[in-house]
Amino acid sequence: MAIGARRLFGATTILILFCLIVYIFKRQQTTVADERIKTNNIFLPRSNDDVDDDSHKQQVLRMEPQPVQDFIATKKGAGNPNLLKYIHFDLKGAPPKIAFYEPFFKFISKLNAGIKGILIEYEDTMPLNGMFNDSINRGGYTHEQIESIQTSAKLYNLEVIPLIQTFGHLEWLLKLQKFEKLRDNPLLPMVISPCLPETYVVLEDLLKQTLNLHPNINTIHIGCDEVSPMNVHPKCRDDNIGNPERYIQHVRRIVNVILKIRPGMRILIWDDVIRSDQFLEKSTLLNDLKGIVEPVSWYYSSQFEDQYSSSPIWSIYSKTFTNVWAASAFKGGWKRFSMITNTTHHVLNNNQWNLFMQDQTFRKDKFYAIILTGWSRFDHFMPICDLFPTAYKSLLSCLYTLNTGNIVDVTNIIDCNTLVSTLGYSNVDCQTLPGTQIWYDVSQLSTLIDRSNEYISFLQTVAPMYNRQYSFVRPTDLQQRLFELQAVLSEYQHMYDSLTQSMSLIYTQDIMQEWLELYYWPPYRAVNQTYQEYQPFTTQTHWPIRPLTK
């Protein structure tokens, strides 16, 4: 009996240890996945990643986190098929050639996904004249091209809403010496000063030209997000007005300018400033915006924090504004340096919006619409992230989740036909969707980078810098890996040809050059440099005695 008991105790102990090891391993996997999709600051989507400034020199952030089982099993909300949906184009990063729009509009119209229109954030790509003539992007659109976009949208019953920043995020203008004097902080070209009369001369001209370029629109988005620092110009001290009051005053002046140019316009603003603590402490100030603007509440995290979902601002909004809009993200809402869209993160974000809008503790009246934002740069100075075609999988998956409430694992899909079949979009023709080859090529490049990083990592373990410094490397460990690296270099060269061909159909030369310098050339150069550095050791026939140091 004693021996049997000891055996039973030993077997039980081993079983418990085994279960504990499995639990720890799975917990670590989940933690890693959670960390990869975590955002540090829930209110700053375009500066919220936790990557060191120099991290992009070592690694390109690529595919969605693994495994996906956790997000497939996540809590889901019911679908919102009747909720109006708008697709956001962020043209401050990689604006496509004009030929892109008509076939893309045709494709999304065939999805029957409740897409009401498009929100176009032009920044410096509009053909402005007068004081802006020498300030616009040299690769921007012409008057005829802006008209063509609107004509194509109308053909497929899509509303066009222009987004023009009128407070913060005016870097494209304030970076220039000509407009330097309008900065609220003389050293920072982000926020235009609300305390200078010249500000409103410039903004009125900007808005007038924008509206003239869009003669048939009835809605405009005036931005006004991430206005920091604000109210710091020396002129702002003259009347001793606080930040919330100054913000309201500025927005009202912009609204008055628009309504003077075109009465009856519907005006949208981002809501991050008016839901901040400063406004919660002075919530009656929002009455000054009642009936003249509609807030667009953006939130791009994969998990809504209580600070957002339980904020008192929601009861204030329901009493103050006739309509409130939501804004999720389908691309560019994860990392500032990103080669390919993180589908998992963005689907989870849209699923959270489903849950939030249907929560019984939330306001009873529904959101008017949701804008699926597609950021191309975190701001004017940041690198290009997530080329639009690399986000097709995310966009269609997010629309699917918003409409049905379901989440489908599309992790390994890199072609349009398989994607639309998996998501049940039966009426679309993938042949009409522009840029699908870019999606495929960038996906292949991502895989190639992973493989080449593995080869380089192995070489660094068998022949670290110390060994190479003293020519103490065994050739047999190198020959096979260097042969593989040589093959990888050939694949990179083939990939370059394919990428430049597919990208040239959608993007101009300057955009291609920037993207390649960010995402293609660094890993290629790393492979080539590694090959050149290690290759001489393959022919070595004699080695020094130890110790290697003298």
Residue position matching structure tokens 């003239």: 212
Query: 174-221: per-residue pLDDT in tens?
Result: 999 999 999 999 999 999 999 999 999 999 999 999 999 999 999 999
Phi-psi region of 231 (alpha: psi -120 to 50; beta: other; left: phi over 0): left
Q: What is the pLDDT of residue 476?
A: 84
- pTM of the predicted protein model: 0.87
Neighbours of 384 (CB within 10 A): 21
| The length of the chain, given as a count of residues | 550
Q: What is the CA 122 to chain-centroid distance, rounded?
A: 16
Q: What is the pLDDT of residue 295?
A: 97
Contact between 102 and 155 under an 8 Å Cβ cutoff? The reply is yes
Neighbours of 301 (CB within 10 A): 23
What is the C-alpha separation between 191 and 188, in angstroms, rounded? 8
Mean pLDDT by 10 residues, the chain (550 residues): 48 50 41 33 33 36 46 74 96 97 97 97 98 95 98 98 98 98 96 98 98 98 95 92 96 98 98 93 92 97 92 91 95 89 95 87 71 96 96 98 95 95 93 96 96 94 92 88 93 98 97 98 97 92 90
- DSSP per position, 39-52: -S-TT-TTS-----
- Nearest CA among 286, 164, 184, 182 for reference residue 230: 184
Q: What is the pLDDT of residue 550?
A: 78
What is the C-alpha separation between 11 and 132, in angstroms, rounded? 79
Contact between 181 and 218 under an 8 Å Cβ cutoff? The reply is no
Residue position matching structure tokens 């699917």: 400
* Contacts (Cβ under 8 Å, ≥6 apart) of 150: 160, 214, 216
- DSSP per position, 5-74: HHHHHHHHHHHHHHHHHHHHHHHHHHHHHHHHH--S-TT-TTS-----TTGGGT--B-SPPS--HHHHTS
**At residue 352, what is the residue type?**
Q
Q: Going by CATH, does the domain composed of 69-430 fall within 3.20.20.80?
A: yes
